[in-house]
Amino acid sequence: MRHNNWGRIWPTAGVAALGLALGLALVAPTLLRASTKDDDIARLNAATTIFHEVMATPDKAIPQEILEGSQCIAIIPGVKKAALGIGGDYGKGIVTCRQGGKTGPWGPPLFVTIGGGSWGFQIGVQSSDVIMVFPNRSQLDSLLSSKFRIGAEAAAAAGPVGRHVAAATDAKLNAEILTYGRSQGAFAGISISGAVVQPDSDGNAAMYGENISPKNILSGNGARVPAAADPLIKALALHPSTATPPAAPAR
């Protein structure tokens, strides 16, 4: 006599679907609501804490050569990961770039969102801190206009970790973005493909006002580093640029 196993399968599937739905219901209101200035400040504080904690263990941190050669850096605290491949991943963070060419100080942070992409298939909602390092400013051109998709407008690779970059990792340095993630205390290079990064219009308006563009924020044109971002900028300044400064004009 054959037994029908559907009675066993459906309860299991139903529990998994219910758990996923409840997880998304708890996460979505926080992530999708408009950002306020208080949200911006909390985001800056979280980004500063993440950077300090990551760099506090040099053997498992972003290598000095990577940071010193970077032109922009994005930090997205607590990206929420919804599994089962439904594209529910979402987070809010900041990106800041060096000013005055390749050797200038870090400028005002632009508030951004990230969503979609491949973040794993475990059931439930998890959280990971994400850091993206941009060796060149040009990779943000699409972001300044509207948005860009990692892997399409900009090639990404999992970044190396450690005190210094080994010769074997030179290939990775040719990537337009080096990506890192921290989950459950473990920090490592991660693969991010298909995620869309775009300006957080509400967050930027709350901090800088309505009439300033993402391009002007990142360039420091009409925008100053807010007091809430000072700790982050000071932390980044501990890793000065090693780029060759422009030659002085001939007289």
Q: Which helix (H) or strand (E) holds 29?
A: helix 6-32
Query: Is 48 within 8 Å of 235 (Cβ atoms)?
Result: yes
Q: And the tokens for 149?
A: 């998709």
**What are the tokens at 24?**
């998304």
In a domain, 247, yes or no: no
In a domain, 243, yes or no: no
Residue 182 lies in a domain: yes
Cβ contacts of 179 within 8 Å, gap of 6 or more: 130, 131, 132, 133, 150, 156, 157, 158, 159, 189, 190, 191, 192
Give domain status of residue 197, yes or no: yes
The number of distinct structural domains making up the chain is 1
The neighbour count for residue 94, using CB atoms within 10 Å, is 25
Which phi and psi (to 5°) does residue 213 adopt?
A: -85, 160
pTM of the prediction? 0.79
Mind listing the pLDDT tens digit for each residue in 198-241? 999 999 999 999 889 998 999 888 899 999 999 999 999 988 77
Q: Please choose, from the candidates 113, 76, 73, the residue with its C-alpha nearest in 3D space to the C-alpha of residue 237.
A: 73
**155 domain residue, yes or no:** yes
Q: Is 201 within a domain? A: yes
Q: Specify if 3 maps to a domain.
A: no
Q: Does residue 245 lie within any of the structural domains?
A: no
CA angle 92, 100, 49 (to 5 degrees): 35
Domain that includes residue 180, residue range:
8-237
Q: What are the tens digits of pLDDT across the range 39-79?
A: 999 999 999 999 999 999 889 999 988 898 889 999 999 88
For residue 222, give the 3-state DSSP assignment.
coil
